[in-house]
Amino acid sequence: MVLLIGETFGYHTQQFLPIIRTDAGSFFGFGEYDGPRGDSFAGRFAELMPARPATIDQRALARQLLDAMGLTEAVLSGTPVNN
């Protein structure tokens, strides 16, 4: 079973995908899930996104903290030098 969890600000959704295997045991694809619907999830990886976007003050504080740790935009960019 694979569980996909999608989140945006204020919206959470989950989708179960049963794994279909060949007789030899290798991966073949995903099937349709017709079991009970998971309406809510709790745990370590549930509802990670906040309900509302960060305020301007929160973003400024986060930028200052990242800069203090040396995590500038140039360091975090996906350039080959930084990978």
Give the E-state strand segments of the chain in sequence order: 2-8, 11-17, 19-21, 27-30
pLDDT in tens, the chain (83 residues): 888 888 777 777 788 899 999 999 999 999 988 887 766 677 777 777 777 888 999 999 999 999 899 888 777 776 666 55
Q: With the CA atoms of 51, 57, 59 and 63 taken in that order, what torsion angle do they form, in degrees rounded to the nearest 10?
A: -150
Q: Where do the structural domains in the chain lie, given as residue ranges? A: 1-51, 53-83
Alpha helices in 23-76 (DSSP H): 56-68, 73-76
pTM score, whole prediction: 0.48
Q: With the CA atoms of 75, 44, 50 and 4 taken in that order, what torsion angle do they form, in degrees rounded to the nearest 10?
A: 90
